[in-house]
Structure 1
Amino acid sequence: MTFKVSNVHPKAEVLELKEHFESYGSVYRVQIETKDFESGERPTGVVYITFKFV
């Protein structure tokens, strides 16, 4: 099951997000959405959290 989480701080890292959401279940994957700006890719503030099925 995958959840979309909005308004995430742009400096949030995959490991800290995974640790935070582990309290809700076993996290399979954390994907930080990025957008290509002229100066390079930057986080959009949207994260997708995928939990393992039990």
Structure 2
Amino acid sequence: MENQIDKKEKQDKIVGMFDDIASTYDLANRVLSMGIDKQWRRKGCDKAYEI
């Protein structure tokens, strides 16, 4: 039972961390990649569409 609680607490912390950064992630990615992320996304979508 204790392992399930620990696992749930870890999951909650991870979800919280991603919730905290989600609002600024795209902007940070755009700046840090100097705009290349648009090309990565396009290529990723094209590859996914092929599958």
TM over 0.5: no
Query: What TM-score, normalized by structure 2, do the two folds share?
Result: 0.27
**Whose helix fraction is larger, Structure 1's or Structure 2's?**
2
Higher gyration radius (CA): 2
**Whose strand fraction is larger, Structure 1's or Structure 2's?**
1
Query: What TM-score, normalized by structure 1, do the two folds share?
Result: 0.26
